[in-house]
Structure 1
Amino acid sequence: MLSQLYIKNVAVISEASIGLQPGLNVFTGETGAGKTILIGAINAVLGERVSKEMIRTGETRATISALFTGLSPAAEQALAEAGYPVEENAVLIHREISADGKSSCKIDGRPATAAILRSVSALLINVHGQHDNQQLLSPQKHLGFIDSYGELDGLVREYQAAYRDYMLVRRELASVNTDEAQKAHRIDLLSYQVNEIEAAELQPGEEEELRAQRKLIQNSLHVTQALGGSLAILEGGEEVPSLTSLLSELAENMTQAANYMEAAQPIAERLTDISYELEGFPGEIQDLIDHFDCDPSQLDAIERRLDTIYNLKKKYGSSIEEILEFGARAAAELEEIETSDMRIEKLSAQLSSLEEKARSQAERLTQARTKAAKLFVKAVQGELIFLDMPSVQLSVCQEHKEMSLDGADELELFIATNVGEQAKSLAKIASGGELSRIMLSIKNVLADRDNIQTLIFDEVDTGVSGSAAQKIGKKLAQVAENRQVIVVTHLAQVASFARNHLFISKAAREDRTFTTIRPLSREERVRELARISGGEKISEIALRHAEEMLRDAGN
């Protein structure tokens, strides 16, 4: 249960530490005192979306902490699976909102994400706000009520898995089973592309090699002249000494000098090495000249080959590698289309089997929903009778539809508000007070299907008064016998049933508004119930009536 709630710098709440107890806890106070802000703070610490606007004016950050104790095994397991093992059967959740719009979350002092908070808090607490009544106005939500009551999550998951498999093969079959004319056109195109690429017999790196050959042929004269000139320099002529003999003579002179001058020794050695190496150059250059086979007639063939590669690149890719990859993909698609008849036959058989399985699962789910709907209506009807709505007849309109992800059923809640009237859509004829009591009835019925230990109701009594309000208080007290219930209310009849009554008030000090939240003593409860019932001017009659309400409620 939620044992302690700490709030700092949230709207008009400067700082508040709120102790909550098992059973029924109620919050009352004047309009605008901060009751809605309190619910917003609880939602924030549970991981809901927050805005920097909730930070108190003049402050840079807001913080909310919630201490949960006596956790259920399911909540402990969820926390452990999320990486936050529980100690001493308690967990502290903390959230901080900064003025720059960022927020941080912690579980037992360790960082967490808002998504983790939401997943974990779903097993800790269930908040029912006024906007939740709008779920009754949306027939799409009614299916969820029946599935939750019938505990059909397992059946729903099994059906959804079968339906997804069926739709996957159905989409694949649709993509394969194209029009014959379109298929023939595609085969012609792919065949042409594959044949054109294969006929070219391209090789990776071929284009670079061809360009190098072309460059060499185009400059063959320069190459032969350069090679011959280099050889002439090295070998010399009749009137010109060779470079090798000159270098050899130079090395010999330096060697002679080194015999008498130690500093010349390194130069002599280097020149000797160079002269030895240079002696091999003429033979190597002569070998290049002898083997230089450059046929200018090959230039035309090279240009034609480069043109072929260029034209293919314009169609299929920016390089030979990309062209070959395109050809491989086209060949694979061509083979797939040419064998599509066999594939269609195989997929059709597979689709038939998967459709049969999905429809079988859908039928099982439909039958389970039909059974659960009857029990759900009966259970909610009993709650409505208790809440002074004996004439209201609730029913479920269940119709078949084409399979979709949520099944093959359309479900909608119908009511007849008076005996003898025809049942009509709940979304069209229910009043605000009726919606509040119907939603409370549904929440109470569904509460028995989960292990959530804390339920929060924000002004669940909207639109009701008199004996109906008293019945709501009594029903909330009954629910609170087995779990913690927290209620924000404007009705004394509801507040009188609380075991822990907290009062929210606001006051102005030094041009600032401050909200305080404190538990009431029994005497203070009498005055608060009298104020709620009769206004600010509290009479003796109002006090006696408040006292009587508390006694009737067992307080």
Structure 2
Amino acid sequence: MLVHLHVKNLALIEDIEVEFGPGLNILTGETGAGKSILLGSMQLILGGRSTRDMIRAGASYALVELLFQVENPRAEEALGELGVELEDGQILLTRKLMDGRSINKINGETCTVSQMKAAASCLLDIHGQHEHQSLLYQDKQLEILDAYGKDEIYPARDKVQEAYRAYRKCMQELKKLDTDEEQRNRERAFLEFEINEIETAQLRPGEDEELETLYRKLNNGKKILETLQSVRDLTGYDSAQGAGDSVGMAVRELTRVTEFDSQLESMSGTLQEVDSLLNDFNRELSSYVEDLNFDDETFFETEKRLDLINNLKAKYGQSIEEIQKYGERQKQKLSDLDRYEELFQEARENLLKSQKKLEEVSYALSEIRQKYSKTLTDKIIEGLKDLNFLDVQFRIDFKRKEEYTAGGFDDIEYEISTNPGESVKPLGRIVSGGELSRIMLAIKAILADRDQIETLIFDEIDTGISGRTAQKVSEKMSVIGRHHQVLCITHLPQIAAMADTHFEIEKHQRGTETITEIHPLEGEDSIQELARLLGGAEITQAVYQNAKEMKELAQVHKNTRLK
């Protein structure tokens, strides 16, 4: 559950810290006090879009921190799959907003916004003021049904997705083969040209590297020859400046005196080795020069062959090996063209097989969905009656889509009747905004028992309701709070009275600045806030007594009916 919230420099919030408790946490306050800002801070952790104007005027950054104590094993497992490890059963999500960018961290380690969103989605679910409108969309209705029966539906849906991918692949293969004879003839001629061009070249692996080495040598032949001649002069025995002649003379001179000092014998030996090496070098150099061949014909043939290979590289690959592999692929394509009728029939049969498989798994998925739709329907009706829909009918209508999809062929629609004698009709044609809000609450309550998410946040779930209905909604919220942590922003005293922990959000003027603060309410303070919600600006004794009685009745309800 969410145990700690820290928000700094976000809009009207300067710096607040809140310790949330288990069960039903209620947040109340005057309109414009900053309740939506508090909710917005949590939505930022869920990957909500950040803008520069969110940062408090005069501040260089804004900060949001949420600390969760994870107690649900399924939530811990889901986080583990994301690579997130808990520290003493806790996880800290931090988002720091600066001008044009944000820094996101999980347990102190930097992460991306998408990683933050994925982790937060395992821990937190926010039902905003307008989310209930999504109930009007059939994709959302199907999503709810799948989530309700996810233990069986999700594996079946995975099989459908796999079969759908295979089906689409077979369709693409058949479409690729579905060409007229003229087009196939053009393709055959093109393939034969490319194959002939590659085979005529008679390429040999490594040939290009050998030719490039030879080309560099031939292209620099004059420079090589001049340089070798200079080196031979400098090291040879044919000129007075040659090193060979000088070393030979030095050997002779040193030999004359070695008989007078035995230590000179090793030096003389070393010098003789130098003379021998230099003599060998000059013989090798002379032989190399004599073998040099820089004729124009060899250079022309080498250059011509290199141009041919480089032209093939530009067309078919960056190396001789790649060119040869390309040629083999083209040969296979040509072979496939020669077997066109056979391959086309094979592709058509594969498509029929994949379609049959897709039909089977889609039908199996639909049966599972229809099974769960019956129990979900019963539970929704039960939940709606708890929310003061006294004579309600509800059903999930199944139709078949014209085309297969990755989610199967089911096209479902929620239908409802809220008045006696009326036939069921699609949600969008019957219910008001307040009724949609209650329907979503009933669904959230049902899904909550099957979900790993521990913390549910409801933003003004009381839209369009009052009186007895508001009381019913408060009781439903309290029921959800038995198994989950619930944070609820509300204006209704009936809901606020059911709080396990009550917070007030206030806006204050401090000099020229406006700041939002939040503090817990207990005992008398909570009753005073309920009285404000009941009576508005003036709180009379009667209003106060009404608020006190409302709080006491809520406590009795929790102590008896909810146990």
- Give the TM-score category using the shorter length: 0.7 to 0.9
Deviations for 1:51-73, whole angstroms, at most 9, x for unmatched residues? Answer: 44333322233333333336111
Deviations for 1:437-490, whole angstroms, at most 9, x for unmatched residues? Answer: 111111112222224332211100111122211211122122223332221101
1:131 corresponds to: 130
Cα displacement (A) at 1:279: 9.3
1:379 corresponds to: 379
Whether 1:469 and 2:470 are equivalent positions in the alignment is yes
Structure 1 distance, partners of 2:319, 2:45, is: 58
1:327 corresponds to: 327
Q: Tell me which amino acid in the other structure corresponds to 2:440.
A: M
Q: Within 5 Å, give how 1:25-40 maps onto structure 2.
A: 25-40=25-40
Are the structure 2 counterparts of residues 244 and 18 from structure 1 closer, same or farther at C-alpha, using a change threshold of 3 Å?
A: closer
- Structure 2 residue matching 1:141: 3-state secondary structure: helix
Deviations for 1:358-401, whole angstroms, at most 9, x for unmatched residues? Answer: 21110011111122222222221222223222344333232111
Whether 1:188 and 2:189 are equivalent positions in the alignment is yes
Structure 2 distance, partners of 1:176, 1:434, is: 54
Are the structure 2 counterparts of residues 308 and 386 from structure 1 closer, same or farther at C-alpha, using a change threshold of 3 Å?
A: closer
Q: Is the contact made by 2:497 and 2:554 (CA closer than 8 Å) also made in structure 1? A: yes
Q: Is the contact made by 2:61 and 2:98 (CA closer than 8 Å) also made in structure 1? A: yes
- Structure 2 residue matching 1:32: 3-state secondary structure: coil
Cα displacement (A) at 1:419: 3.3
Structure 1 distance, partners of 2:193, 2:71, is: 70
Q: Tell me which amino acid in the other structure corresponds to 2:420.
A: V
Are the structure 2 counterparts of residues 257 and 158 from structure 1 closer, same or farther at C-alpha, using a change threshold of 3 Å?
A: same
Cα displacement (A) at 1:296: 7.6
Structure 1 residues not aligned, in runs of 5+: none
Deviations for 1:76-109, whole angstroms, at most 9, x for unmatched residues? Answer: 3334444554455x414241413233223232x5
Q: Within 5 Å, give how 1:45-194 maps onto structure 2.
A: 45-46=45-46, 48-69=48-69, 71-86=71-86, 88=88, 90-100=89-99, 101-107=101-107, 109-151=108-150, 152-194=153-195
Q: Tell me which amino acid in the other structure corresponds to 2:53.
A: E
The number of residue pairs the alignment matches comes to: 542
Structure 1 distance, partners of 2:307, 2:106, is: 67
1:357 corresponds to: 357
Whether 1:480 and 2:481 are equivalent positions in the alignment is yes
- Structure 1 residue matching 2:409: 3-state secondary structure: strand
**What percent of counterpart residues are identical?**
34
Deviations for 1:325-380, whole angstroms, at most 9, x for unmatched residues? Answer: 54344334334444555544554444433322221110011111122222222221
Deviations for 1:221-262, whole angstroms, at most 9, x for unmatched residues? Answer: x989x99xx99xx999xxx999999879966886699899x9
Cα displacement (A) at 1:37: 1.3
RMSD of the alignment, in Å?
4.2
Structure 1 distance, partners of 2:277, 2:474, is: 113
Cα displacement (A) at 1:35: 1.0
Q: Tell me which amino acid in the other structure corresponds to 1:418.
A: N
Structure 1 distance, partners of 2:247, 2:540, is: 131
Q: Is the contact made by 1:251 and 1:271 (CA closer than 8 Å) also made in structure 2? A: no
Structure 2 distance, partners of 1:77, 1:313, is: 52
Structure 2 distance, partners of 1:430, 1:253, is: 119
Structure 2 distance, partners of 1:344, 1:411, is: 37
TM value normalised by structure 1: 0.82
Cα displacement (A) at 1:277: 4.7
Cα displacement (A) at 1:47: 5.0
Q: Tell me which amino acid in the other structure corresponds to 2:516.
A: T
TM value normalised by structure 2: 0.81
Structure 2 residues not aligned, in runs of 5+: 557-563
- Structure 2 residue matching 1:536: 3-state secondary structure: coil
- Structure 2 residue matching 1:398: 3-state secondary structure: strand
1:369 corresponds to: 369
Q: Is the contact made by 1:373 and 1:396 (CA closer than 8 Å) also made in structure 2? A: yes
Structure 1 distance, partners of 2:244, 2:143, is: 103
Structure 2 distance, partners of 1:155, 1:148, is: 13
Structure 2 distance, partners of 1:373, 1:132, is: 22
Q: Is the contact made by 1:254 and 1:267 (CA closer than 8 Å) also made in structure 2? A: no
Structure 2 distance, partners of 1:548, 1:319, is: 88
Q: Which moved more, 1:413-422 or 1:480-489?
A: 413-422
- Structure 2 residue matching 1:6: 3-state secondary structure: strand
Structure 1 distance, partners of 2:21, 2:244, is: 111
1:458 corresponds to: 459
Structure 2 distance, partners of 1:96, 1:489, is: 26
Are the structure 2 counterparts of residues 215 and 23 from structure 1 closer, same or farther at C-alpha, using a change threshold of 3 Å?
A: closer
Are the structure 2 counterparts of residues 191 and 274 from structure 1 closer, same or farther at C-alpha, using a change threshold of 3 Å?
A: same
Q: Within 5 Å, give how 1:116-515 maps onto structure 2.
A: 116-151=115-150, 152-203=153-204, 204-205=207-208, 207-208=211-212, 277=278, 285=286, 323-324=323-324, 326-339=326-339, 341-401=341-401, 402-515=403-516
Q: Within 5 Å, give how 1:15-26 maps onto structure 2.
A: 15-26=15-26
Are the structure 2 counterparts of residues 439 and 244 from structure 1 closer, same or farther at C-alpha, using a change threshold of 3 Å?
A: closer
Structure 2 distance, partners of 1:363, 1:165, is: 17
Are the structure 2 counterparts of residues 277 and 129 from structure 1 closer, same or farther at C-alpha, using a change threshold of 3 Å?
A: closer
Structure 1 distance, partners of 2:294, 2:516, is: 98
Structure 2 distance, partners of 1:506, 1:309, is: 78
Q: Is the contact made by 2:251 and 2:268 (CA closer than 8 Å) also made in structure 1? A: no
Structure 1 distance, partners of 2:6, 2:330, is: 66
Q: Is the contact made by 2:457 and 2:488 (CA closer than 8 Å) also made in structure 1? A: yes
- Structure 1 residue matching 2:404: 3-state secondary structure: strand
Are the structure 2 counterparts of residues 304 and 517 from structure 1 closer, same or farther at C-alpha, using a change threshold of 3 Å?
A: closer
Q: Tell me which amino acid in the other structure corresponds to 1:484.
A: Q
2:561 corresponds to: none
Q: Is the contact made by 1:11 and 1:55 (CA closer than 8 Å) also made in structure 2? A: yes
- Structure 1 residue matching 2:368: 3-state secondary structure: helix
Q: Is the contact made by 1:7 and 1:16 (CA closer than 8 Å) also made in structure 2? A: yes
- Structure 1 residue matching 2:379: 3-state secondary structure: helix
Deviations for 1:527-552, whole angstroms, at most 9, x for unmatched residues? Answer: 22222122111222322322332233
Are the structure 2 counterparts of residues 209 and 475 from structure 1 closer, same or farther at C-alpha, using a change threshold of 3 Å?
A: closer
Q: Is the contact made by 2:127 and 2:458 (CA closer than 8 Å) also made in structure 1? A: yes
Q: Is the contact made by 1:456 and 1:486 (CA closer than 8 Å) also made in structure 2? A: yes
Are the structure 2 counterparts of residues 213 and 276 from structure 1 closer, same or farther at C-alpha, using a change threshold of 3 Å?
A: closer
Deviations for 1:111-133, whole angstroms, at most 9, x for unmatched residues? Answer: 55544443333333322111211
Structure 2 distance, partners of 1:138, 1:214, is: 76
